[in-house]
Amino acid sequence: KNIYMEDSCRSAVINLLESLIGVVQGCHVSTVHQLFGWMRPTVSSMVNMLALYHNYNQIVELILELYCEIAKRILCYFTPSESKLFYEASLALIKTYADHQVGRRSYSKEAEEEQYRDILLFMELLTNLLSKDFVDLSPPDSQEPEDTVTAADVCLYGLNIIMPLMSEELLKFPSLCLQYFKFITFLCEIFPEKVANLEQNLQQSLVSSLQLGLTSLGVDPVFSLCCDFIQVLGCYMVRNNIRDTPIYEQLRSFLKLFLDLILSQQINSDLIPNSSATLYVLICLYQDTYQQLVQIIVQNQEECNRQRLMEAFTNLTSNTPLTADRTNRIRFRDAFDKFIVNVRGFLFVK
């Protein structure tokens, strides 16, 4: 029997991991570099530890939690060379976890909850890695490395690993659901060009999860994050006139979805401002489709109301350039408030 399988050895590993987490939590800015210099070999060795104990969920969670704590509490103080080492270790950790997930299928409630906790920790790790681009308090580095591995590399690889695991059942866990949509929106805000150039299957998975967040989950913060994602990516595509990416066509269906949700009053009134701003960006992206949808909506009205509704739609966009910039999003939002007040008294929506 291998010694690492013995209960006493596993208990020692658990105690060590809990102690390391405590050390990171108690670290002060003045001791960050000394601490990471001491911990660096140990942090790197956690990749092999994960491979060894991949069937022991408590140890897996503690390893992921250690990485999360490092990313959340002290990564912002790392020099570029220290950051690079941690990015490389994080990438290796994600790859190792993914390798041991291949072919695993379990339908028990306990296994689902274990996977939920793992993915939640991974999402927190990836989100905290992205935060380095916003909060970077690192000192100058005399040995600044070439960025062979960046936070973007780790996060995009992590997204490839996480997306196939994000089932509708897992998204019913509120904290995981919220963290997932925070992560993909944050990623899109920082790297819209990378999201626009993801492989087609991954883009389709993202769009499917957005559809779920907008229509099935019933969580207002998640709905708002989906709106933010569409706005950020849509604005990027409008500004750069991007049409040759699969996600351009995949997002087209959201134009009808937002028109239907808003006009049929299926959206909480507090969400209307963000929804109307998202609708505006989608109109900028798909102007011909918008005109076709307006014609369909108008033709579905009683004949006595068609002219009035067509005038209302015309007034909605007549004074707002379809450029998707922030000023015009706000102008459209104000115009949309007036549009809604005007048409809801007689509008009929199938």
Q: Give the tens place of pLDDT for each residue, 175-210.
A: 889 999 999 999 999 889 999 998 888 899 899 999
Residue 101 has pLDDT above 80, yes or no: no
Residue 63 has pLDDT above 90, yes or no: yes
- What pLDDT sits at residue 138? 67
Q: How far is residue 171's CA from residue 191's CA, in Å, rounded to a whole number?
A: 24
- What pLDDT sits at residue 139? 67
User: Which residues, 6 or more positions from 43, have their beta carbon under 8 angstroms from its beta carbon?
Assistant: 36, 66, 67, 70, 86, 89
- What pLDDT sits at residue 164? 79
Residue 346 has pLDDT above 80, yes or no: no
Q: How many CA atoms lie within 13 A of 18 on its CB side?
A: 7
pTM of the model: 0.86
Residues across the chain: 350
Q: pLDDT-derived band of residue 146, with 50, 70 and 90 as boundaries? A: low
Mean of the pLDDT values across residues 32-43? 92
**Ramachandran quadrant class, 265 (left: phi over 0; alpha: psi -120 to 50; beta: rest):** left
Which residue would you say has higher pLDDT here, 96 or 152? 96
- What pLDDT sits at residue 320? 87
Q: Are 185 and 232 in contact (CB under 8 A)?
A: yes
| Helix (H) and strand (E) counts in the chain | 16, 0
Q: pLDDT-derived band of residue 168, with 50, 70 and 90 as boundaries? A: confident
Which residue would you say has higher pLDDT here, 282 or 345? 282
Residue 165 has pLDDT above 80, yes or no: no
Mean of the pLDDT values across residues 85-92? 91
> By mean pLDDT, which of 16-30, 94-108, 269-283, 305-319 is the weakest?
94-108
- What pLDDT sits at residue 4? 79
Mean of the pLDDT values across residues 279-294? 95
Q: pLDDT-derived band of residue 340, with 50, 70 and 90 as boundaries? A: confident
Three-state SS sequence of the chain: CCHHHCHHHHHHHHHHHHHHHHHHHCCCHHHHHHHHHHHHHHHHHHHHHHHHCCCCHHHHHHHHHHHHHHHHHCHHHCCHHHHHHHHHHHHHHHHHHHHHHCCCCCCCHHHHHHHHHHHHHHHHHHHHHHHCCCCCCCCCCCCCCCCCCCHHHHHHHHHHHHHHHCCCCHHHCHHHHHHHHHHHHHHHHHCHHHHHCCCHHHHHHHHHHHHHHHHCCCCHHHHHHHHHHHHHHHHHHHHCCCCCCHHHHHCCHHHHHHHHHHHCCCCCHHHHHHHHHHHHHHHHHCHHHHHHHHHHHHHCCCHHHHHHHHHHHHHHHHCCCCCCCHHHHHHHHHHHHHHHHHHCCCCCCC
- What pLDDT sits at residue 141? 60
Residue 70 has pLDDT above 80, yes or no: yes
